[in-house]
Amino acid sequence: MAGNNRVLARKWIYLCLSLLMLFALFAGILAIKSTTKTAAIFASENKEAQADSTPGESNQQREQEPKDPNQKKAPRPDHKHLAFGERVEERAQMVTMQIEKPFDIRTPVRDPNVLKAMRIVPRHAFVGPAEQRLAYADHPLPIGYDQTISQPYIVAFMTEALKLDPNDKVLEIGTGSGYQAAVCAEIAQEVYTIEIVEELAKSAKERVKKLGYPNVFVKAGDGYFGWPEKAPFDAIIGTAAAGRVPPPLLEQLKPGGRMILPYGSAYGFQYLLLITKDQKGNLHRENVMAVRFVPMTGEISKPEKKSEE
């Protein structure tokens, strides 16, 4: 009897072990199938994410790919400098309270590319040590040589007026510390900027290079004459006031382009003048905002020559 019980016990043990092995094999097969299915789902989600990317993201991806295999990719800001990681919350607050949702009669700036650029560019890196604590205040700041860095709202407003896209080439008249050029360079492909004060041009050139803006090109010179070697430009921006628009700048503006600059007397009324050139070369002018800028110097200060009849 005892022997029969032992035989029966062995049979049950073998049966249990066989069932356990079959269960383990079945579980392994299920795990492999589940992993394959998950990988397929991830691959599908990745494709859907690419298909659902925003137009801006899609445009950026296309623009980074050169049309010609032999064409080099356009350089872009690298944002590796430590300044980009500093005072981020102050910049965000500046954009929200001064630019996107100002608490006064100012027209809000809505262009997402402009708002993003204003959040990225470290304004404190474009002012001297004495002005550091006020770098994100709602007013212009001195940068030496009787020049100023413009109020953040004005920088954003003028940039938005240009309606920049990633393929644009921009000319700036009046580099100053380089802040406006850097903001434009976050959106446009290339920015060419001219500063009549040699010391400012030199320091701005060093600053934008140090901050990682390979698409900003600075030279010392009289902005009245523009930069004919690099013309035509999709957009032109001026940061010093004059009583007339320099004719070379109008010539260097591409058909379909836009120009904005402060217009008026150095010590009197000034306003931002928006000039658009249609595809036929006709110019259209619009006064958009009262402002106060430092005067443009150089050739513009000479009496205007009357054309001979």
- Cross-strand pairs, 261: 273
Pair 117, 183: CB distance under 8 Å: yes
Residue 255 near residue 225 (C-beta atoms within 8 A): no
CA distances from 102 to 88, 93, 251 (A): 19, 11, 36
Task: Name the residue among 227, 139, 143, 215 with its Cα closest to residue 184.
Answer: 215
Catalytic positions are: 150
Peptide bond preceding 232 in cis form (omega within 30 of 0)? yes
Cα 253 to Cα 276: distance, rounded to the nearest angstrom: 9
d(CA 38, CA 36): 5
* One-letter amino acid of 69: P
Q: Which structure tokens are listed for 196?
A: 């009549």
Q: Which helix (H) or strand (E) holds 256?
A: strand 253-264
Can you tell me the distance from the alpha carbon of 158 to that of 289, in angstroms, rounded to the nearest whole number? Answer: 10
